[in-house]
Chains A and B, each alone.
Chain A
């Protein structure tokens, strides 16, 4: 079966690419990245700040049912070209993952289809591999000390 979302990560490197084709016109795909109310829906987090311009800041947060913050991240937008490209930094709070640079390119395939290509660069190959292991931690309360302890051991 052909997989819609592809991740390419070479061993020992500090970057990776994520590509995906959509049954959506590129304008619509881009809006999902450009408008806070849409970002909130597919990313599943609150958008506290989103300044879609050069040197604009962004800040996302996600809370669980009990009001504990389970995800918080922020960064700066370096490039924001509608329907073409977004370059931003990304840093997750209270994690050992460091800052990552994300270059997201949007491409029109046909009038009805489009493609996204994310190039993510980490501070080191070790930090990239740490992020790759992250999905294992999903569904757990991040505030839980024991889990954080375990995550740091995964290094």
Chain B
């Protein structure tokens, strides 16, 4: 098992970002978090495990239930949120490049 996971890798996934957003306002149980997604429960559990491993989420025992809450300190460590924004544009531009490379043979001869 990978114990030291990269924070940016953790937040690269849209479901995990959504989980962080959900838990941002209140601590929730794994079941309550999973109820917000169409994804299978084990998949959500896996995401929770990754987020916990990189310390973005913390677990707190409350009676018989385990609540997940956000680790504000760690969240702050993500340099003012630029990386996910950069990643979003990088994905977009990668797609542009791929599409236009496929389009290139067609484009020859139809140049404006």
Contacts and interface: CB of A to CB of B under 8 A. Distances in A.
A24 interface: yes
B75 to A, nearest CB: 10
A34 B87 CA distance: 23
B29 interface: no
Interface string B79-104: 01110111111101111110111011
The listed residue with most B CB atoms (<10 A of its CB), out of A6, A7, A154, is: A7
A139 B97 contact: no
A2 to B, nearest CB: 12
B41 interface: no
The dominant DSSP class at the B interface is helix
A82 B24 CA distance: 44
Contacts of B90: 3-5, 20
A75 B59 CA distance: 45
Interface residues of A, number: 41
Interface in A45-100: 82
A150 B24 contact: yes
A109 interface: no
Contacts of B88: 134-135, 138
Interface string A25-38: 00111011000001
Interface of B: 11, 14-15, 17-18, 20-22, 24-25, 80-82, 84-90, 92-97, 99-101, 103-104, 107, 111-112
- Top 8 A-B pairs ranked by shortest CB distance? A139-B14, A135-B84, A5-B90, A42-B96, A7-B86, A136-B17, A135-B88, A42-B95
